[in-house]
Amino acid sequence: MKPEELSPLNLAYLGDAVFELMVRERLVSGSTESVDRLFHKSKNLVSASAQSKSYFRLYDHLSHDEQLIAKRGRNSKSSSKNKNASVMEYRYATGLEALFGFLYLSGKMDRLEEVFAMCIADWECIL
């Protein structure tokens, strides 16, 4: 399967899972907190609002091709509605998720880790 041939929404669908897994892995790494506490932290970090902020934080640090993938995801029309985020936050979050899905399927794990590190740069107080 060639990632560039998938729809941006399919990339975002997979990218959502990749992003959440990375957040959860980061949260449990060396943590002694309860699963309930970890769940609430991850819920806040994987939200459309937080992902939208991450999109803006890292956009200028992306390659041209990565920016195109993120834009395709952002501009995709989804039938899903998010009750906790604005339409624009949801769209930017979808762009971020599409990028994560693309990098994952492309096997660019080092770059995926770099992009994730940019996303969580100011989360240290939460993590």
46 φ/ψ angles, rounded to the nearest 5 degrees: -95, 5
Helix (H) or strand (E) holding 56: helix 48-58
- What is the rounded CA–CA span in Å between residue 81 and residue 17? 18
Largest interatomic CA distance in the chain: 42
Nearest-CA neighbor of 51 among 118, 96, 114? 96
Catalytic residue list: 16
CA 25 to CA 63: how far, in whole Å? 26
Q: Pull the structure tokens for residue 90.
A: 């949801």
